[in-house]
Amino acid sequence: METITLKPGESHLISLPGLGSAGYQWMFESSEPHIALVEEVLHSRNAVTVPIAASLNQEFRLTAIAPGHTTIRFSQRRRFEPDKKPNASYEISVAVGG
């Protein structure tokens, strides 16, 4: 598990390998959502330089909100298979100092 330390207002970018062409998307859940905000970073098609059929990485911005600690769990799965084991997973521990 990766660990990062941030101060309130600071951000950290995470890039996870995409598999969107096969229907997979990264989803996340946070143990303490009031500590850090997680937002997916979307890109316009004009800014993308990979072939049209290729899968893009999914990027997420973590922004520290308040002092404390949270663990953010990402799972790569298909929305239409909610009970199936994730294709991949990633966890990050976020410590926000005061």
CA distance 87 to 82: 12
Name, in order, each residue with C-beta under 8 angstroms of 38's C-beta and a sequence gap of 6 or more. Answer: 28, 30, 60, 61, 62, 72
The number of angstroms, rounded, from the C-alpha of 30 to the middle of its chain's C-alpha atoms is 10
Architecture of domain 2-96 in this structure: Sandwich (2.60)
Q: Which pLDDT tens digits describe the chain residue by residue (98 residues)?
A: 899 999 999 999 999 998 888 889 999 999 999 999 999 998 665 656 666 667 788 999 999 999 999 999 999 999 999 899 999 999 999 999 97
pTM of the predicted protein model: 0.85
Domain ranges of the chain: 2-96
